Amino acid sequence: MPYDESVPPTRRRRSLLAATAFAAVCLTAAGCGAGDDSGGTRAEPGQGGSGTSAPPPSKSAPAPDRTSASPTPSSKPSKPSGPSGSTSGGATGPLSGKTVVIDPGHNPNNHLHTGEINRQVDIGTTHKECDTTGTSTNSGYAEAQFTLDVSHRLRTLLQKQGAKVVLTYDNDRAYGPCVDERARIGNEARADAVVSVHADGSAVGNRGFHVILPALVRGGKADTSKIVEPSRDLGTRIAGLFVRDTGSAPSNYIGGNSGLDIRKDLGGLNLSTVPKVFIECGNMRDPKDAALLTSAGWRQKAAQGIADGISSYLEG
């Protein structure tokens, strides 16, 4: 990425320190290279694209964790609604006064509303589907179940540090929200950081996590010029601390083992006006990664890694 003289020196120093810390941590798990803008092997995660269709949750899928499970959403179509707001729960801590928006990728009932989620929406540079169904493990554990579970755990961790946490949805709507609304929720909350939680659906043997950063995009309603650098700082910190907390290595198929990827085709990033990243926590179609993703204990580690990355970014 070209050096940007308009970025304040303090922000550049933070990014450099974060990158150095990530490289040091990453050496314990895998070699690190530079992020790329290849676009990866799958279409927009949770943002409309080809998105592998996930079947309804099967009996072989892991039972929901009772500490984070929510009621099953209605299967009736719903009108667009506001975000699932949340307060800090009265806690005080290092993140008091900060607002974090968590975006759980997809929706467990999207597959029941294909007409609604296939509707085209404007993402600035082009049009894409409102949302997608997401992927699943071979045993039927849906990505949308995974993302909600990790998001609930992440919310709890951040609230304990005093942050105000807003979820883009929380099992409170039948489908969606659409990708443009997901971005708008973060913008309207004036979030200090937004993280969209996902899991990938790639080929067997493709393993590891990667954090997706916004590319420099200007077109229509999209202008990421003000969020590219802070989002890279946020994503780099999350990547480094995700390695530390989960023991997982960066992706061996996207990002040159850096754990970072840059994309310009994601509506959730293109339309954001606040620092935002996506994280693909692993590959649901690889048996070894799937064993991690279906483990409640590992999901707690994943939430901790993301929370630690967010905290590191917000505390500077």
List pLDDT tens digits, range 35-79: 333 333 444 444 433 333 444 444 344 544 433 333 333 333 344
Average pLDDT, the chain: 82
Residue-number span of the structural domain to which 99 is assigned: 21-47+90-315
Active site residues: 280
In a domain, 4, yes or no: no
Quick one: average pLDDT of 279-295? 98
Give residue 82's pLDDT: 58
Q: Work out how many domains the chain is built from and give that number.
A: 1
On whether residue 123 sits in a domain, the answer given is yes
64 falls within a domain: no
pLDDT over 50 at 147, yes or no:
yes
Q: How confident is the model at residue 96 (pLDDT cuts 50, 70, 90)?
A: very high
**Residue 96 CB neighbour total at 10 angstroms:** 12
Residue 69 lies inside a defined structural domain of this protein: no
216 or 74, which is more confident: 216
Q: Is residue 255 part of a domain?
A: yes
Per-residue pLDDT averaged across 161-169, rounded?
A: 98
Q: Domain for residue 154, yes or no?
A: yes
- We report the CATH number of the domain holding residue 172 as 3.40.630.40
Q: Is residue 249 part of a domain?
A: yes
Question: What pLDDT band is residue 139 in, cutting at 50, 70 and 90?
Answer: very high
Taking only the tens place, the pLDDT of each residue in 254-279 is: 999 999 999 999 999 999 999 999 99
> Is 54 within the bounds of a domain?
no
Mind listing the pLDDT tens digit for each residue in 98-116? 999 999 999 999 999 999 9
